[in-house]
Amino acid sequence: MQRSGAEAVVKCLECEGVQFVFGTIGHANLAFFDALHDSSIRLIAMPHEQLAAHAADGYYRASHKTGVVTASIGPGLANTVNGVMDAAADCSAMVVIAGDTPTSYIGTDSFQETSLHYDASQLEILRPVVKRAWQVRHPSTLTQVVSRAFNYAVSGRPGPVLLDVPFDIFSTVQEFDIPDTTKRRASSFRSQGDSSEVERAAELLWQAQRPLLYAGNGVILSEASQELQALAEYLGAPIATTMTAPGVIPTDHPLYGGFTGAVGTQTGNWLAQNADVVLVIGSRLGEMDANSWKPEFFFPVPKVKILQIDIEPTEIGKTYETEVGMVGDAKAILKQMIQAMQTLGEAKAWQSSAWVQALHERKAKWQTLVDSVKKSDALPIELARVVHEVRTALPRDGYVLAGVGPRHLVAQQFDIFEPGTCIINNGHGTMGFSPAAALGVKLAHPDKAVINIVGDGEFRSVSQVLLPAVEHGINVVWLILNNYGFNIIELYQKRHYERLIGTEFKIEGTDQPFNPDFKAMAEAHGAGGIVVNTIEELQKALATALAADKPYVLDVRVTREPRILGSGQWDANRLLPIGFNL
């Protein structure tokens, strides 16, 4: 059958089961947009390519189905960079399909060609942050490359890939072979670990006095929460997590110990500091989660034995020396671990163990401290009280996305009952991720409530998310923490420099605070908007927004002096100069 290259690509996407493509149109992907119009795939047209990438990322995190992004040549592709970097850092499978210079014009400096170092080199823009990039140079290879792109995106550690297509190949009409893309990759990704190493790790954990299971985002990606909980209960080992993986098991489970890091929970950091054997599952052990790798705040190297599970071999031992390093799928290896434990003895009576009892005592003290802020009636409203009210209003299986400002607070204090329903970007930490990612989450689960708790600074930077939300009927609730500033950075600025520069939102030359009228902005776009000044107003606004059949913005006036319950270490405080009392 004769069809265009763009139509052939779309047929491959349909074979792949793609439901949504997020993107912005330009002359170089014009044919691709036209082909999507006649397909079963829903095009989510976005006002900016960065937002398209964030939305596709959110879609993957909520559905574990590969997100697809399209961009035009040059500035179109360049605009995706931050979104792709976030996907790479937090391991989201994404296929970016970009138009490029026509093949016959390569090297002529045609319109928007990137050629400073070599001809038609725009793929270099994304090369540091994608698993693989392909330049299609002939129509005959087009559909084969689509198959390979999806294979790379989901194989091993998931991540973004780039498919760079000259726009004349999109328009070329000829016979294209349309492969069944699902048959061009492994039929199972559940790779098991070496059985002897799994048994050795199980023995070390079994003999430990203070075992700890340390779960990263790899547990969420592998959908291994059930196995993690079963292992914890059989062994009697508490679970601590990274900031991207809260809720790997319900946060009200007696073995859940919170997350680690500079603004981690006191219980999470205490567990990391006092364990004698730790099983790390699907975590890079990055700086923010590992308290800048200081042994007095995190794993007490060399006293602690570290065991590690990761799908990516190069992550094993990258940060810490390991006693046992197991390469494979988290879900599969945890099942092996449970089986190995069962050969060592009956399930341990952990409810009365000194290790677990000590955790419970510390959790009780931590909860008392948290309650002192999250139940505060103070005005302007405490951020912790906002988080508490959202949890009260949101259904048990609803989704919350935390902006880069309030993410620490949400990870600390937002109870999570279903794995994967709290979405936090921690690896790259882009300001602007959460408002757009919420669109993808809602499309993945249209029957679920989706709330984005976001700072006013972040929402100001990407407020155009309201456009596709209204245009495509994506009913997200954005709850804006309005305190007229980049409040998290402001805290560091006060601490180190004792003055504020560029972090307050105010009219220049005055002390008059300034933000746009977020309610009016929402209504101008066709969304709902409510200004909230009191706790009673917040409760009513949440009920209204969650019940509405349209997107909603809640402009919640909050304190400029939030109480952040930090208990860890971030070396930036040592490395930034002037005025910080070490």
Q: Residue 311 and residue 325: Cα distance in Å, rounded?
A: 11
* CATH number for the domain running over 375-575: 3.40.50.970
- Sign of the dihedral defined by the CA atoms of residues 372, 377, 382, 386, in that order: positive
Tokens of residue 521, six digits: 């902005």
Residues 6+ apart with CB under 8 A from 581: none
Q: Residue 64 and residue 427: Cα distance in Å, rounded?
A: 18
Mean pLDDT per 10-residue section of the chain, whose length is 582 residues: 96 97 97 97 98 98 98 98 97 98 91 91 96 96 96 96 97 94 86 97 98 97 98 98 93 96 95 98 95 94 97 96 97 98 96 96 94 92 96 97 94 94 91 97 98 97 97 98 90 84 91 96 98 98 98 97 83 77 48
Fold of 195-361: Rossmann fold (3.40.50)
DSSP letter at 407 equals H
Tokens of residue 127, six digits: 């090369």
Residues 6+ apart with CB under 8 A from 509: none
Q: What is the 3-state secondary structure (H, E, C) of 215-248?
A: ECHHHHHCCCHHHHHHHHHHHCCCEEECCCCCCC
Element of type H or E holding 164: strand 160-166
Instruction: Establish whether domains 2-183 and 195-361 are of one fold.
Output: yes
Which superfamily does CATH assign the domain made up of 2-183 to? Thiamin diphosphate (ThDP)-binding fold, Pyr/PP domains (3.40.50.970)
Residue 575 CB neighbour total at 10 angstroms: 9
Q: Residue 177 and residue 155: Cα distance in Å, rounded?
A: 24
For residue 566, what pLDDT is reported? Answer: 80
- Specify the pTM: 0.96
Query: Structural domain boundaries of the chain?
Result: 2-183, 195-361, 375-575
Tokens of residue 216, six digits: 């990263």
Q: String of b and e for 51-61 (b: at least 16 CB within 10 Å)?
A: bbbbbbbbbbb
